[in-house]
Structure 1
Amino acid sequence: MDLFEIVRAAGRRWYVLVAGLILTGGLVMAVLRIIPLTYDVQSSVLLLPPRQTASANGPVTDGGNPFLNLGGLDVVAGVLSKSLMDSASVESIVPKGSHAEYTVEPDPSVSGSVLAVTASDRTPAGAFSTLDSVLALTTTRLKALQDEVNATGGSQVRLMVITDNTVAEPNTSALVRTLIVVVAAGLVITALLAISVDALLRRRKTRKAARLAAREAAEEDSAASAVPDARAPSGKRASPGRTARPAKPATSGKRRRPAEPAVSTTADVAREPVVAEPVEAEAAATEPRFDFDDFDDAVDDSVELSDDVARDDDDADLVADRR
C-alpha cells in the first residue's frame, strides 16, 4: 500500500481520524497535568588554596593539609562533590515528600577546581531554597572534612561562590520529550486504526456483494427451473412417474371388454423419460401446499374407474342374456 492509498483510506474514515485526534489531545492534557513544569537554578563554586604560603622565593606549602598532598585542588573538589551527594546529605536537604532535587559535580566547562551546583523544584521559590541549603552544606562539609584530617586553620581550602543566579529558568526538557512520544504514538495509532477500519469495512462490503450476487443467481435459476414443461398438457402440470394414458379403443355396436394394459418391462421403464419436479421457491418448499392439479387427476382416475366397472357389469349381463 503506497502513500496515496493510505491517504485515501484515512480520508474515507475521517471520523476515525477525528476520534483519534481528540483522544490524542486528551492524552496531551493528561501529560501536562501529570508531568508538571520544573524550575532550575544554578550556581558555581570555586575552591581556593589555603592562606598559608611560603616566602616569595619558595613554593606554596601545604601547611599540614593532607588533601593538598593528593594532587591539588581538583582532588578536593571531587571528594567534596561525592560527599555532598550521599544519602544522608540528600535527606538533610530534601525532606521526604518534597519534589526538589539537586546535583553537585565538577564543572566540565571550566578547567580547574570549580563545582557546579544545580537545584530544581516545581516552584522558583523552592528551587532557590534548595540551592541555598546546598551552598550552606558545602561550606560546612568542606570544613568538616579538613578538620577530620587535622588540617590547621591556615592550611584549609576555602570556597568562593563565583556565580549566583537570581532567576529560576523553567526546565521543559522532560515535558517536551514526553509530549513528543505521546503525540507521535497517538498519530501513528490513529492512522493505523483508520486504515484497519477501512480495510475491514471494504472486505465486509465485498463479501456482502458476493453473497447478494450469489442469491440473485440462485433466484434466477429457481425461476428458470420453475417454468412448466412444454410437453405437458396446458392447464395440467406433468407429475413425476405419470405417463400419458392410452386412448380407449372405439367399439362398434356391441360393447367389448377393454384389453388389459401391457405391463411395462424394466427396459421400458428405463427408457421412459423422467420429468424433473420443478424447483419451487425455498419458502414454498418448506411449507405444505395443496396441489389442485393432482386433485383433478385423482378425480378423473376415479371417474374412469367407475366407468370401467359399469361397462364390466353390462358385459356380464349381455353374456347372461345370450345364454
Structure 2
Amino acid sequence: MDLFDVARSCFRRWYVLLPLLAISVWYSYSVYSSVQPVYYANTVIGLAPPSVRQDSPSAGGEIRRNGLLDVGGASLVANLTALGLREPTVVDRVVAAGGSPDYTAKAFPTPPPNPQLPMVFVEQTSSDPAEVTKTLELVAAQAEVTLRTLQQQARVPEDQMVTPFVVTPPGTPVAAMPTRTRSTIAILAAGTGLSILVTVLADVLLTRLRSGRRIQPRPPISDTPRDGVPPYDVDAQREHEAPDDDAVDAR
C-alpha cells in the first residue's frame, strides 16, 4: 500500500478520519492551554583581585601573595567559586533562607579587553517569579562567604584575597513557555498519524466485509452416492447428474 492508496482510503472513509482529527486537535489545544509559564532571571557576579599585590618580602621576611591566582589565575578562582556555590552545604543554606535549590552557577571569561576578570553566572528558572528573585539574591550573598572560605582553606592572606561583587543584579523574571509549542506539535503529529492508521484499517476491514457479501454460494451437492460414484467425488457426481445427450435425442 502506497501513499495513493492511503489517500484513497482516507477519502472513502472521511466520516472516520474527520472525527479522529477533531479529537486530536481538541486534545492538542487543551495541552497548549494548560501549560503554565515559567520565569527566568540571572545575576552576574564579578571577582575583584586584591588591590595591592606584595611581591617583595615584608618586614617579617614573608612574601604575601594569593597562591590561587599564582597557580591558575582569576579563571581558576571563578571556576572554584561556581563549584562552591553548588556545594550541598551552600544549597542547604539557600533553601533554609527561602530560596530554591534548582539554580545553576557557572564561570565564563569576559571578552577582551578584560580577559583576566572572569565572572560567575547564576541563573534560576521557576514557576514563581518571587522565588526566582529571592533565590538569586541569596546565592549572590553566599558567593562572598563561599569565596572567602575557599581562600581561607588555601591559606591566602586576608589582604591578598579576591572579593566578589555583583555586576548585574537580579532583573525582573521573564515569563516563558519553552515546552508548550514543542509538546503541542508532537501530540498533534501523533494524533494525526494515529487517525490515518485507524482510518486505513477501517477501510480495509469494511472493504473485505463488503466483498464477502457479494460472493454467491455454489449449489449444494448431494451427499447420496449415485450408481457407485463416491459422494466425495464432486466432479463425477455432477457428470452423473447431467442429462445424457443420447437420452435427450431419443425423447
TM-score by length of 2: 0.71
1:118 is displaced (CA, Å) by 0.3
User: In the alignment, does 2:130 pair up with 1:125?
Assistant: yes
| Residue in structure 2 matched with residue 201 of structure 1 by the alignment | 206
User: In the alignment, does 2:108 pair up with 1:107?
Assistant: yes
Query: Larger deviation: 101-110 or 155-164?
Result: 101-110
Task: Say whether the 8 Å CA contact 1:28–1:182 is kept in structure 2.
Answer: no
1:201 is displaced (CA, Å) by 1.6
- 1:83 partner SS: helix
| Residue in structure 1 matched with residue 38 of structure 2 by the alignment | 38
Task: Say whether the 8 Å CA contact 1:117–1:131 is kept in structure 2.
Answer: yes
Looking at structure 2, the residues matched to 28 and 92 of structure 1 have their Cα atoms a distance apart, in angstroms, of 42
1:108 is displaced (CA, Å) by 6.3
Q: Which has the higher contact order (CA 8 A, sep 6+)?
A: 2
Tell me, which stretches of 5 or more residues in structure 2 are unaligned? Answer: 56-62, 228-239, 242-251
Looking at structure 2, the residues matched to 23 and 47 of structure 1 have their Cα atoms a distance apart, in angstroms, of 54
Alpha carbons of structure 1 residues 156 and 109: separation in structure 2 relative to 1, 3 Å: closer
| Residue in structure 1 matched with residue 86 of structure 2 by the alignment | 85
User: In the alignment, does 2:167 pair up with 1:162?
Assistant: yes
Give runs of aligned pairs for residues 184-223 of structure 1, distance below 5 A: 184-209=189-214, 213-215=215-217, 218=218
- Supply the AA of the counterpart residue of 1:40: Y
| Residue in structure 2 matched with residue 116 of structure 1 by the alignment | 121
Task: Say whether the 8 Å CA contact 1:100–1:126 is kept in structure 2.
Answer: no
Looking at structure 1, the residues matched to 148 and 125 of structure 2 have their Cα atoms a distance apart, in angstroms, of 26
Alpha carbons of structure 1 residues 129 and 202: separation in structure 2 relative to 1, 3 Å: same
Alpha carbons of structure 1 residues 99 and 28: separation in structure 2 relative to 1, 3 Å: farther
| Residue in structure 2 matched with residue 281 of structure 1 by the alignment | none
Looking at structure 2, the residues matched to 48 and 75 of structure 1 have their Cα atoms a distance apart, in angstroms, of 13
TM-score by length of 1: 0.57
Alpha carbons of structure 1 residues 146 and 99: separation in structure 2 relative to 1, 3 Å: closer
1:199 is displaced (CA, Å) by 1.8
Alpha-carbon displacement from aligned partner over 1:11-43 (angstroms, at most 9, x marks no partner): 33333342244145325534764x532111011
1:184 is displaced (CA, Å) by 2.0
Tell me, which stretches of 5 or more residues in structure 1 are unaligned? Answer: 56-61, 226-239, 242-274, 277-323
Aligned length: 215
User: In the alignment, does 2:149 pair up with 1:148?
Assistant: no
Query: Larger deviation: 86-95 or 64-73?
Result: 86-95
| Residue in structure 2 matched with residue 304 of structure 1 by the alignment | none
Looking at structure 2, the residues matched to 139 and 207 of structure 1 have their Cα atoms a distance apart, in angstroms, of 83
1:104 is displaced (CA, Å) by 0.2
Alpha-carbon displacement from aligned partner over 1:103-131 (angstroms, at most 9, x marks no partner): 00123674551111101110211111111
Alpha carbons of structure 1 residues 184 and 86: separation in structure 2 relative to 1, 3 Å: farther
